[in-house]
Amino acid sequence: MAKKKVLIPTKLDKIAAEILEGHGGYEVVQDDKTELHALACLHPDAHALIVRSEKVTAVVLDALPSLKVVIRAGAGYDTIDIRHARRRGVDVMNTPGANSNAVAEEVIAMMLSDARHIVRADTDTRAGGWEKKAFMGREIAGKTIGIVGLGNIGRLVAKRLSGFDCRFLGYDPLIAPQRAEEYGVTLTTLEVLFSESDYVTLHVPLSPETRAMVNETLLMRMKRGATLINCARHGIVDMAALRKVKPQKGLRFLNDVYERDEPGPKPDADLMDLMLPHLGANTHEANWNAARRAAEQLIEYEEKGITSYVVNRDIPEGLDPAYGELTFMLSKLARALVGRESKLTRIETSFYGTLEPFADWLLVPLVSAIWNEFDRSMDAGAARHFLKERGIEYQNRKGDPKKGFANSITVDMTASMGGQSLTAVSVRGTVAESALMISRIDEFDRLYFEPKGFTVYFQYDDRPGVVGAIGMALAAAEINIEDVRHSHSERSGQSLVMMRVNKPVSPAMIRQIGEEIRASRAIALSF
């Protein structure tokens, strides 16, 4: 039987080739000298492609007619045209977590280097200087470390720094308090974290929610002389705000991420007290881990059908893709209603009618609505692992056909507020005439609200005049109401109002209206 050809057009650790060739079923061509497209043209019979940061374009994919799988030896895969790969029937996989320790250690290396002026002192001493007074440093022991994002890297930062006897504060709305405590981290708000930390290190993905999340307000809360570290993604820090606040507060800024990974002058370089050329994953060990994982995943994918790390999955046959979107919308709504700052502890789902066989597939858009970094093309195994890592229980309840919900989806979320008290919400939806519909929120049934555009939601003790007060407040801000649902519950004595409006409503305005009508829930979200 002919061996399957694997192309490795990069300086990936040799362990990948050794594992694949040792298996006996693969022929490996590893060539980091030849340009990728030219290499593809030389080997059109390649069955698999393992890359690091090389750009796998549509042109490269089309030059490999026998290609079945591309594996990114690392987490990010934005250099791969995953849509064209799917059109070509090519699965794309990644190896998340392989670089986590390398990035965590880089954070600590930057902290120590900056605290003790290692780079400048080395340069000065080599030039004949002896400026001990100029290089008076600081110790990390006993300091408060704020970790924004407690995924693999954030947790490892806490673990690796534990020997320094530091106090750890963490911000991550998706991790349970008891899970954070296992790593010695106390969960808190962003405001408290930035106010009390001597060092703030960022470990969140770049998304619409996290873009410029480190804004002027948070920066102004930082201690005088505190240090901000970004080894996550460019764009998380509002650089204009940093330029304004940094000299006022005497802040330090250590950076390893840029808008473009390329040689040449870097914008805002003058704001960076220590800057590195995106070295986070650049260790021999991380390279070895990623190479090993890539080879092992390829074998498991082929021999056992394990697709946990496929990032461009197709929609299963027989499922209307609208139900994937519906699950995403319901999860997004439930997360907002239970409180974005609350700590999720439990998620329950029910899939009715013909949707029941697709429960595993639909779990993925549910999780991706809660966490932007969880890609919607991952599989149920990866989704369950994500929830388990954050201490979130998940149960899929078998739908009761006697309830007559046809093809409907119910999502229930429970979260802890203030560490002890619990809050819960249950939402249900369906698809009617190709339109997504929210049919129920808790005891408020038969809503049939279409989740699209800008939406405001208020829940309050029922009494006359509330809907009018909301409408007047929106009108005063020149915000037009495009659709509205108003429902009352005899059991609780509460009412809700959901409105689709023509423009975003600011958090300050939502708070103002909520206070005026004494709302128990007041939120704005964009579908």
pLDDT in tens, 188-209: 999 999 999 999 999 988 877 7
Report whether pLDDT(373) > 80.
no
pTM for the whole thing? 0.70
Report whether pLDDT(487) > 90.
yes
Query: Catalytic: 233?
Result: yes
Report whether pLDDT(315) > 90.
no
* pLDDT number for residue 405: 67
Residue spans in the chain of domains classed CATH 3.30.1330.90: 315-445
What confidence category does residue 126 fall into, taking pLDDT thresholds of 50, 70 and 90?
Answer: very high
Report whether pLDDT(404) > 70.
no
* Beta strand extents in 99-184 (DSSP E only): 144-148, 167-171
Residue in 366, 264, 353 with CA at minimum distance from that of residue 324: 366
What confidence category does residue 371 fall into, taking pLDDT thresholds of 50, 70 and 90?
Answer: confident
Mean pLDDT of 108-120: 97
Domain 100-275 has CATH 3.40.50.720: yes
Q: Can you tell me which residue has the tokens 């005891």?
A: 443
* pLDDT number for residue 468: 94
Q: How many CB atoms sit inside 10 A of residue 51's CB? A: 23
CA distance 48 to 7: 6
238-251: b or e for each residue (b if 16 or more CB lie within 10 Å)? Answer: bbebbeebbeeeeb
CA distance 16 to 371: 31
- The residue annotated as part of the active site, out of 155, 233, 440, 521, is 233
Compute CA distances 325 → 35, 82, 164, 368, 483, whole Å.
40, 20, 46, 11, 20
Report whether pLDDT(316) > 70.
yes
- The residue annotated as part of the active site, out of 86, 88, 278, 313, is 278
Residue in 431, 222, 234 with CA at minimum distance from that of residue 323: 431
pLDDT in tens, 147-193: 999 988 999 999 999 999 999 999 987 787 778 888 999 999 999 99
Task: Please state the CATH superfamily assignment of the domain spanning residues 452-527 in this structure.
Answer: ACT domain (3.30.70.260)
What are the strands of the beta sheet with 521-526, ordered from one edge?
Answer: 481-488, 494-501, 454-461, 521-526
Q: Which residues does 206 contact at the CB level (< 8 Å), separation at least 6?
A: 232, 233, 234, 235, 236
Report whether pLDDT(111) > 70.
yes
Residue in 455, 400, 393 with CA at minimum distance from that of residue 424: 393
Which sign does the torsion angle of CA 166, 172, 173, 175 carry?
negative
Mean pLDDT of 21-35: 95
- Report how far apart the first and last C-alpha atoms of the chain are (Å, whole number): 52
* Beta strand extents in 85-163 (DSSP E only): 91-94, 144-148
Residue spans in the chain of domains classed CATH 3.40.50.720: 4-98+285-303, 100-275
- The residue annotated as part of the active site, out of 126, 224, 260, 262, is 262
* pLDDT number for residue 23: 94
Report whether pLDDT(83) > 90.
no
What confidence category does residue 422 fall into, taking pLDDT thresholds of 50, 70 and 90?
Answer: confident
Pairing type for strands 227-230 and 252-255 reads parallel
Report whether pLDDT(262) > 70.
yes
Contact criterion met (CB below 8 Å) for 367 and 387: yes
**3-class secondary structure, 501:** strand
What confidence category does residue 377 fall into, taking pLDDT thresholds of 50, 70 and 90?
Answer: low
- With 0-12 CB in 10 A as exposed, 13-18 as middle and 19+ as buried, what is 136? exposed
Q: Is the pLDDT higher at 402 or at 334? A: 334
31 membership: H or E segment, kind and range = none
Contact criterion met (CB below 8 Å) for 367 and 383: yes
Contact criterion met (CB below 8 Å) for 189 and 198: no
266-289: b or e for each residue (b if 16 or more CB lie within 10 Å)? Answer: bebeebbbbbbebebbebeebbbb
Report whether pLDDT(413) > 80.
yes
Task: State CA 105 to chain mean position distance.
Answer: 21
CATH of 315-445, one of 3.60.20.10, 3.30.1330.90, 1.20.1560.10, 3.30.1340.30: 3.30.1330.90
CATH number of 4-98+285-303: 3.40.50.720
Report whether pLDDT(78) > 80.
no
Mean pLDDT of 82-93: 89
* Mean of per-residue pLDDT scores for the chain: 91
* pLDDT number for residue 403: 66
CA distance 52 to 288: 12
50 membership: H or E segment, kind and range = strand 48-51
Q: Is the pLDDT higher at 281 or at 135? A: 135
Residue in 409, 420, 432, 438 with CA at minimum distance from that of residue 336: 438
What letter does residue 310 receive in the DSSP assignment? B
Question: Token pair of 37, please?
Answer: 């497209």
